[in-house]
């Protein structure tokens, strides 16, 4: 069985998106782009009669239950990644600023900020259990950190990473 989702979402001032990530467990979508744009969206879940209508092939309305702009980045947001186990979102911009966001009482809030001030983040990924994150910088630095913000490992590679 295949599903197809189509939903037009207005992006302010025609800002270009650079990254997107889906939290499949909770249904959130994060998208980042130019001028510090960071949005978290969530589609309303359909149950009962609406679900029956979908199964019969009838169109059902799909509304956003969340469309939140997150303020904190000034540069282009380039990397977004989810920690589904701890309901956290981690983002990074072209200036190397990393922000960890937490979900609390129905909204997303800034929890931690880190700026190495040396290089741009090229990739980030949380472990499956959500306990650790690996952050890879363009200048070859690789940082492994814990969910509570502590640095566990900091090897330096001798090459630029992309």
pLDDT, tens digit, for every residue of 58-81?
Answer: 454 567 788 899 999 999 999 999
Q: Between residues 140 and 102, which one has the greater pLDDT?
A: 102
pLDDT at position 141: 87
Average pLDDT estimate for 79-94 = 96
What span, in angstroms and rounded, lies between the C-alpha atoms of 40 and 89? Answer: 9
Q: 50: pLDDT confidence band, cut at 50, 70 and 90?
A: very low
Degrees to nearest 5, angle at CA 76 with 132 and 119:
55
The pTM of the full predicted model, rounded to 2 decimals, is 0.82
Q: Is the confidence at residue 85, as pLDDT, over 50?
A: yes
Distance of alpha carbon 77 from alpha carbon 93, whole angstroms: 4
Domain 15-153 architecture: 7 Propeller (2.130)
What's the mean pLDDT in 2-26?
Answer: 80
The full set of domain ranges for the chain reads 15-153
122 token code pair: 């090229």
Structure token pair of residue 76: 């282009």
Q: What are the phi and psi torsion angles at 5 (to 5°)?
A: -115, 130
Report how far residue 133's alpha carbon sits from residue 127's, in angstroms, rounded to the nearest whole number. Answer: 6
């Amino acid at each position: 069985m295949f599903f197809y989702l189509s939903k037009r979402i207005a992006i302010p001032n025609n800002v270009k998106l650079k990254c997107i990530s889906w939290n499949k467990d909770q249904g959130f979508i994060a998208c980042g782009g130019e001028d510090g744009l960071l949005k978290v969206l969530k589609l309303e879940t359909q149950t009962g009669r609406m679900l029956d209508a979908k199964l019969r092939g009838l169109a059902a309305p799909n509304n956003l239950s969340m469309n939140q702009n997150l303020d904190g980045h000034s540069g282009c947001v380039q990397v977004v990644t989810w920690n589904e186990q701890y309901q956290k979102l981690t983002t990074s911009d072209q200036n190397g600023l990393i922000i960890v966001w937490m979900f609390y009482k129905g909204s997303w809030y800034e929890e931690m900020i880190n700026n190495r001030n040396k290089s741009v983040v090229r990739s980030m990924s949380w472990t499956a259990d959500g306990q650790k994150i690996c952050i890879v910088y363009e200048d070859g630095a690789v940082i492994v950190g814990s969910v509570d913000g502590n640095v566990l490992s900091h090897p330096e590679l001798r090459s630029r990473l992309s």
